[in-house]
Amino acid sequence: MGEMSGKRMVVTGGSSGIGLETARQLVEAGAEVCLVARREEALARAVADIGGSTWSHACDVADESEVAGLKDALAARWHALEGLVNNAGIAPMAKLEDTDPETWDAAFSLNVRGPYLLCRSLLDLLTAGSSPAVVNVSSTLAERAIPGMAAYNSSKAALNQLTRSIALEWAPAIRVNAVMPAVVDTPIHSSRGITADQVSDMGRMHPLGRVGRPEDVADLIVFLLSERASWMTGAVVPIDGGMMAG
Ligand code: NDP
């Protein structure tokens, strides 16, 4: 039996990149996983790819009524929840003067309001679960800002403080932690016009000499969800090839 056997988990952004790999590792460890994202076709591909007891629910996690629908679907199927991974995120790139209010709001809607809505809505289910835990996927940019990404940098900084705030409110019943990846090789970059070679070149910025793989981050998320992390809450943990050491 895997260490996640019998555990019921939700992974937002579970159809791609870090979320997809996290869901795969959770299922391999014995969990039942609900993948959440907006596009149904991508979700169906991910469910077929991972197999096991994976299922999906299409939902915009920044939309309050859609999150209420997700909660109903989870309550009807599971009645309780052991894990929530708030991973869905967007990373708009623009100088401040080119960041229109819609772009600013979109970053905060998905990267901060989404985790807030999910945590608030799923509290009852988490409370009913056995040793429940939440992991929020932040970014090193929350603490080491770079130019041209003010909306993203700020939204992830807010997510770090939301993580600590909920951890304090929900202790000792529910653990809440966050991970801060540096550059990870996922489709998020091609969606912003960054080529595979450019992503690979960014490896030079990391002391360990390469960009991250989704597996690197998923390993840490699974650890934080597991009983092995039972004395961790309110932690915001870098997983960054050494980037934040300098
Ligand atoms: P991807 O672009 O590969 O995947 C994003 C996922 O989020 C997709 O499943 C997408 O599906 C889903 N998603 C997007 N918008 C919404 C929404 N409104 N509601 C529900 N789901 C949504 O991203 P990554 O795997 O690269 O990133 C995952 C997380 O890691 C993000 O929070 C990102 O900020 C963070 N991160 C990534 C880094 C990197 O270098 N890759 C570095 C540091 C942090 P759909 O579009 O169908 O909704």
Task: Choose among 178, 78, 76: nearest CA to 119.
Answer: 178
Q: Give, to the nearest 10 degrees, the angle between helix 17-28 and helix 40-50.
A: 30
3-state secondary structure the chain: CCCCCCCEEEEECCCCHHHHHHHHHHHHCCCEEEEEECCHHHHHHHHHHHCCCCEEEECCCCCHHHHHHHHHHHHHHCCCCCEEEECCCCCCCECHHHCCHHHHHHHHHHHHHHHHHHHHHHHHHHHCCCCCEEEEECCHHHCCCCCCEHHHHHHHHHHHHHHHHHHHHHCCCCEEEEEEECCECCHHHHCCCCCHHHHHHHHHHCCCCCCECHHHHHHHHHHHHCHHHCCCCCCEEEECCCHHHC
Per-residue pLDDT for 232 more than 80?
yes
Q: How far is the CA of 137 from the centre of ligand 1 (A)?
A: 9
pLDDT digits (tens, 9 = 90+) for 153-174: 999 999 999 999 999 999 999 9
pLDDT of residue 191: 85
Reported confidence tier of residue 206, pLDDT bands at 50, 70, 90:
very high
pLDDT digits (tens, 9 = 90+) for 22-57: 999 999 999 999 999 999 999 999 999 999 889 999
Structure tokens at 99: 């960041």
Of the candidates 10, 12, 43, 152, the residue annotated as catalytic is: 152
d(CA 176, CA 163): 6
* Residue 45 Cβ < 6 Å to ligand 1: no
Q: Whose CA is nearest to atom 7 of ligand 1?
A: 13
Q: Is the CB of 67 under 6 A from ligand 1?
A: no
Residue-level pLDDT at 72: 98
**Amino acid 246: pLDDT:** 87
Closest approach atom of ligand 1 to CA 60: 19
Q: Out of 70, 137, 138, 198, give the residue to mutate to test ligand 1, the one with the largest number of ligand atoms within 8 Å of its CB.
A: 137
Nearest-atom number in ligand 1 for the CA of 39 is 47
Active site residue 152: yes
Say how far apart CA 156 and CA 143 lie, in whole Å: 8
Residues of the chain above pLDDT 70, percent: 100
Statement: residue 1 has pLDDT above 80: no
Q: Tens digit of pLDDT for each residue in 137-147?
A: 999 999 999 99
Answer for the pair 115, 165: CB distance below 8 angstroms, yes or no: no
Model confidence, pTM:
0.98
- Is the pLDDT at 192 greater than 90, yes or no? no
Across the chain, mean pLDDT equals 97
Say if ligand 1 is within 6 A of residue 241 CB.
no
- Looking at ligand 1, which atom is closest to the CA of residue 189? 41
Q: What's the whole-number mean pLDDT along residues 192-210? A: 95
Residues shown for the chain: 246
CA–centroid distance, residue 121 to ligand 1 (Å): 20
Atom of ligand 1 nearest to the CA of 141: 43
Answer positive or negative: Cα dihedral of 189, 194, 200, 205: negative
How large is the average pLDDT for residues 125-132? Answer: 98
Query: What pLDDT shows up at residue 3?
Result: 95
Neighbouring-strand partners of residue 178: 136, 236
Whose CA is closest to 31, among 57, 52, 58, 56?
52
Pocket test for ligand 1, best of 87, 117, 159 (most atoms within 8 A of CB): 87
